[in-house]
Chain A
Amino acid sequence: MSAVATQLVRRPSVVAGTLMTAATLFVAFAGPALAGSPDEFVGAPFQGPGGDAPLGTDVMGRSVLARLLAGGRDFLLQGILAAALGVGAGVLLGVALASASRRVADLVLSLNDTVIVLPQIVIALLVLTRLGATPLTLVLVVGIVHVPQSARVVRAATQRVVTQDYYDSARTLGASRRRLFTGEVLPNIAGVVLLELSIRLAISVVVLASLSYLGFGSTDTQWGRMIHENQGGLTIQPWAVLAPVICTGVFLIGVNLLRGGTVRALAVR
Chain B
Amino acid sequence: MNELSSVDRPNSYIGRSVPRPNAKRLVAGRGQYVDDLRLPRMVHVAFLRSPHAHARILSIDSAAARAAPGVVRVVTGAEMAEVCTPWVGVLHHLKGLKSAPQHALAVDRACWQGEPVVAVVARTRAEAEDAVGLVEVAWGELPATVDMEAALAEGTPVIHPALGDNLAFMREHVGGEPDACFADAESVVVQATFHTGRHTGVCLEGRAILADYNPAEGRLTAYHSNQAPHMMQTVFAKHLGLREGDVRVICRDVGGSYGIKVHVYPDEMATAALSKILGRPVKFSADRMEGMVSDIHARDHRIAARAAVTKDGVITAMEIDDLTGIGPYSVYPRTSAVEGNQVVNLCGGPYALRGYKARTTVVFQNKTPTCQYRAVGHPIATTVTEGLVDLAAEAIGMDPAELRRRNLLADDVYPFKNHANLSFEGLSHQACLTKLLAMMDYEALKAERDALRAKGVYRGIGIASFIELTNPSPFMYGIGGARISAMDGATVRLDPDGSVAIASGVTEQGQGTEAMLAQIVAGAVGVDIARVRVTTGDTETTPYGGGTWASRGAGIGGEAALQAGHALREQILVIAGAMLQAAPEALDVRGGAVVDRATGAERLPLEELGRIVYFRGDTLPKDLPRELVATRHYTPKDYPFAFTNGAQASYLEVDVETGFVTLLKHWCVEDCGTVINPMLVDEQIRGGVVQGLGGALLEHCVYSPEGQLLSGSLADYLLPMSGEMPDIQVAHVETPTKESALGAKGAGEAGTAGAPAAVQNAINDALRPFGARVFAQPFTPARILTALGKI
Chain B associates with chain A: no
Interface residues of A (CB under 8 A from B): none
Interface residues of B (CB under 8 A from A): none
